[in-house]
Amino acid sequence: MRLIVGISGASGVILGYHMLKALKQIPGMEVHVIVTEGAAKTFEHETDLTVDAVTAAADVVHHNSNMAAAISSGSFKTDGMIIIPCSMKTVSGIAAGFATNLLLRAADVCIKEGRKVVIVPREMPMSRIHLGNIKQAADSGCVVVPPLLTFYNSANSIEKQIHHIIGKILMQFGLDYVEFVGWEGAE
């Protein structure tokens, strides 16, 4: 399986790091990553991680300005893309088909080729513009997985909350995540 992970400049870049770590644990998974310039700055503000440390979990690292990268073409086969976190700027670019950088072009390619694109929008509260752009992205085929809190699975730490979000995203690609605790039902 081959997936693209885009990490945009929204708050919550640590989610992208955890996604890369989770994908690295899946046998046979090839991961291509794009870290936007905004994401690099957000890593500096929100974490102690360097971009090199983050991207070390990927098989291929693409520069966001490289519009000639393999993932910019539909003839380069992938199983889809995850954008985590997905800034409102990125959502608006996806919604409008405004592919001005590699992250947006890769999403555009996946959408046009009928490949799954999962976006993890990070903003709160959301304006009507944000909601309209998210709806347009969903209407274009994107799956929207906001990083919302869970309570039914005793996720009583940030780490457990992140595991839940990663698990929900990976389910979209038919993948299991060992750290995910799903609903077991109730009497």
Q: Does the reported pTM lie above 0.95?
A: yes
Query: Is 72 annotated as ligand-binding?
Result: no
CA–CA–CA angle 35, 42, 68 (5° rounding): 20
CA atoms within 13 Å, Cβ hemisphere of 33: 30
pLDDT confidence of residue 141: 97
Number of domains in the chain: 1
Residue 42 annotated as binding site: no
Distance CA 14, CA 12 (A): 5
pLDDT class of 46 with cuts at 50, 70, 90: very high
pLDDT digits (tens, 9 = 90+) for 150-160: 998 989 999 99
Average pLDDT of the chain, as a whole number? 97
Q: Give the mean model confidence (pLDDT) for residues 83-108.
A: 98
Q: Is the pLDDT of residue 40 over 90?
A: yes
154 is in an annotated binding site: no
Tell whether 138 is in a known binding site. no
Please check whether residue 162 lies inside any domain of the structure: no
Does 122 carry a binding-site annotation?
Answer: yes
Position 16 in a domain: yes
CA 136 from centroid of its chain's CA atoms: 17
The predicted structure's pLDDT at residue 12: 97
Q: Are 5 and 170 in contact (CB under 8 A)?
A: no
* Across 39-64, average pLDDT: 97
Ligand-binding annotation for 36, yes or no, is yes
Q: What is the DSSP letter of 86?
A: E
Task: Output the CA–CA distances (angstroms, integers) from residue 182 to 18, 101, 125, 144, in the order listed.
Answer: 18, 36, 27, 19
Is 90 within any annotated ligand binding site? yes
Q: Is 17 annotated as a binding residue?
A: no
Residue 123 within a domain: yes
55 is in an annotated binding site: no
CATH number of the CATH domain containing 7: 3.40.50.1950
Range of the domain at 30: 2-151
Q: Is 187 contained in some domain?
A: no
Q: Is the pLDDT of residue 186 over 90?
A: no
